[in-house]
Amino acid sequence: MNIISQVAQGMQAILSCAAEIIAFNTGVIQRLRKFTGSVFVQTLVFGWLSHPKATLEDLTQTAATLGLSITPQGLDKRFTSVCANFILKVLEAAVATVIAEKPVAIPVLHRFAAVYIQDSSTITLPDVRAVIWQGCGGRREKNTRSSLKTQIRLNLNPGELIGPYLQSGKENDLRSFLSLPLPKGALWDKRKHRLTHPHTWFTIPNTHQFLSDKHSLCR
């Protein structure tokens, strides 16, 4: 099965059956009706996927294609803390779905149990979100108190993507899932964390760096 088929099947399960279960568990949907958990999450995912800056009117049009007639005002009332928790749980379910591509065909990487590349991105949020996602602050008066950091880890050997995982923007990377133990014999690109992770790491040498072999010959 190719990666596209894996993603399609995995997301179909998450955005349908899993979304329904999570909706009832989180209290988003308390009784059966047209506005189900799966329709709600599909409205948001498909709507913002096709148009990242989609308005409420745009999202209601997406809902219409899913068989739901709702006004922008009616949809707006759905955006509550309970709804936010529901969407977060759906994301966590999606992250837990393991999807892997073909391994990278580089023989030297096969010497290691795993080869990890990992990175993070920070998204600035409105200050009102600081209650949940704390930012680092800044010189600007607005939109400095709240930010969201996303963390991902890619294992090149099986082509497995881990994440994204979410944390407050002010939190250090070491407090995220990236601080979880790596398998013995792993290779990763975080030299600065070598003291907390006793594994093989790699880095890019600078132009003034000298290398030597066991015979002390400079390269």
**For residue range 20-72, what is the model confidence (pLDDT) as tens digits?**
999 999 988 776 577 899 999 999 999 999 999 999 999 999 999 999 999 99
17 within a domain of the structure (yes/no): yes
Residue type, 40: F
Note the pLDDT of residue 102: 65
218 within a domain of the structure (yes/no): no
Average pLDDT over residues 90-104: 76
Is residue 87 located within the same domain as residue 113?
Answer: no
102 within a domain of the structure (yes/no): no
- The string of pLDDT tens digits covering residues 9-18 is 888 889 999 9
pLDDT at 85 over 60: yes
pLDDT category at 110 given cuts 50, 70, 90 is confident
14 within a domain of the structure (yes/no): yes
Q: Which domain holds residue 139?
A: 107-201
Is residue 86 located within the same domain as residue 167?
Answer: no
Task: Compare 212 and 154 and report the one with higher pLDDT.
Answer: 154
- Assess contact for 6 and 97: CB atoms under 8 A: no
Is residue 69 located within the same domain as residue 119?
Answer: no
User: Rounded mean pLDDT of the chain?
Assistant: 81
Is residue 10 located within the same domain as residue 77?
Answer: yes
Write down which residue in 75, 95, 115 finishes a domain.
95
pLDDT at 213 over 70: no
Is residue 142 located within the same domain as residue 164?
Answer: yes
Q: For residues 81 and 136, what is the distance between their CA atoms, to the nearest angstrom?
A: 23
Write down which residue in 95, 129, 155 finishes a domain.
95
Is residue 34 located within the same domain as residue 120?
Answer: no
219 within a domain of the structure (yes/no): no
64 within a domain of the structure (yes/no): yes
Is residue 86 located within the same domain as residue 154?
Answer: no
120 within a domain of the structure (yes/no): yes
Please state whether the peptide bond connecting residue 164 to the residue before it is cis, i.e. omega within 30 degrees of 0.
Answer: yes
pLDDT at 195 over 50: no
Task: Compare 219 and 124 and report the one with higher pLDDT.
Answer: 124
Is residue 133 located within the same domain as residue 77?
Answer: no
Write down which residue in 62, 95, 128 finishes a domain.
95
Residue type, 129: R
Is residue 113 located within the same domain as residue 62?
Answer: no
Alpha helices in 36-134 (DSSP H): 37-50, 56-65, 72-76, 81-95
Q: For residues 116 and 135, what is the distance between their CA atoms, to the nearest angstrom?
A: 27
Note the pLDDT of residue 67: 92
Tell me the Ramachandran region of residue 86: left when phi exceeds 0, alpha when psi lies from -120 to 50, beta otherwise.
alpha
132 within a domain of the structure (yes/no): yes
Is residue 119 located within the same domain as residue 87?
Answer: no
Greatest mean pLDDT among 13-17, 93-97, 156-160: 13-17
How many distinct structural domains can be found in the chain?
A: 2
